[in-house]
Amino acid sequence: MKNLIRIIVFVVIATAFVVSCSGRGEVDNDAQPIADSVIETAPEIIRGKVIEDTVIGHWTIKIAKDSNEIVVGEDYCPTRDSSVFLTLLYDHRVVYSDKEIRTKDIVGSEGEYFMWYGGNVSWVSDSAIYLSFGCFIPASDDGWRKLLQILPDGTCNHIVIEDLMGFNGFYDIDKFMALYFNEKAVGASYKDLKRLFDYYCTKEVAEALSSGTIQIGAEVADFRHAYLTTKIDVTGEPYEWHSFEVVFKPDPNDDNVADTIYMVFDEELDKISRIDTCAIIDTCAVNVVDASDIE
């Protein structure tokens, strides 16, 4: 009788083990489980590669990336598109649970662009988290670089980051301005703004911005509108394309009003080394060259 009981117990345990390993249907051998080191209620398995599993400030973040059913460029460069799966909490309150983000959510459609990269945390503050995405046409540099700004209530805002090949500092200044305006738009704290200044600017410029000696936009500006109307042009003589003019419109009700600032990017320090509200005389020419006109 005791032997019979042992046999029955063994069968039950073995059956439970097989069921627990099989999951729901067939599981890809390359699937990587997201360990419940951060979120106890996270799905047991999210197919694909885990690219974030961390806690930063108020934010608890789990992100995985995997291919989906869309094939882009079937005629010349077949490429399987990807999706990002996002689980996000703010102060332990769920903002998103295993939310799928696809190329169409970034550029508006599927089938032409594919998600080359996506889901990596680009910037975090108490007010928002910024995830980076890059969607391109296969075998080309034609595409979109975007940040997805996510607020604690789940609101998302798309931020386009532009680059101009051959002009060092253009991308950095465009990203700095985009983060600054969008952080101001959601009421970022002095601490978070100071951290932004310290990261992108030299010590002297960061201190001037933090103290208010240098101001980018008045406190009454509509910072979301300022971001949407920002235009960056290259200034200076040839081979000195590290000086930039930044123009933005702070008032959505008056398109005739525009603010202009001048910025210099130090290639060796990899930082913004000068911000001025008047024309820079020493390293930049007074004449402004529209970057769109440069071959």
- Per-residue pLDDT tens for 232-251? 998 865 445 588 999 999 99
Asked whether residue 10 is assigned to any structural domain, the reply reads no
3 state DSSP class of 96: strand
How many domains does one find in the chain? Answer: 2
pLDDT at 278: 66
- For the chain, how many residues are written? 295
pLDDT at 237: 54
Dist. CA 229–CA 284, nearest whole Å:
23
More confident residue, 287 or 160: 160
222 plus 286 within the same structural domain: yes
Radius of gyration of the chain (CA): 24
Dist. CA 223–CA 218, nearest whole Å:
9
Strand partners, 100: 85
Question: In this structure, what are the phi and psi dihedrals at residue 172, rounded to the nearest 5 degrees?
Answer: -65, -45
Lowest mean pLDDT among 39-48, 102-111, 259-268: 39-48
Q: Contact at 8 Å (CB) between 68 and 48? A: no
Question: In this structure, what are the phi and psi dihedrals at residue 267, rounded to the nearest 5 degrees?
Answer: -65, -35
Mean per-residue pLDDT, 111-136 = 95
Asked whether residue 22 is assigned to any structural domain, the reply reads no
3 state DSSP class of 60: strand
167 plus 295 within the same structural domain: yes
State the residue range of the domain holding 121.
31-161
146 plus 88 within the same structural domain: yes
182 plus 124 within the same structural domain: no
* pLDDT at 59 > cutoff 90: yes
Q: Contact at 8 Å (CB) between 137 and 76? A: no
pLDDT digits (tens, 9 = 90+) for 63-99: 999 999 999 987 777 889 999 999 999 999 999 999 9
Q: Looking at the whole model, is its pTM more than 0.75?
A: yes
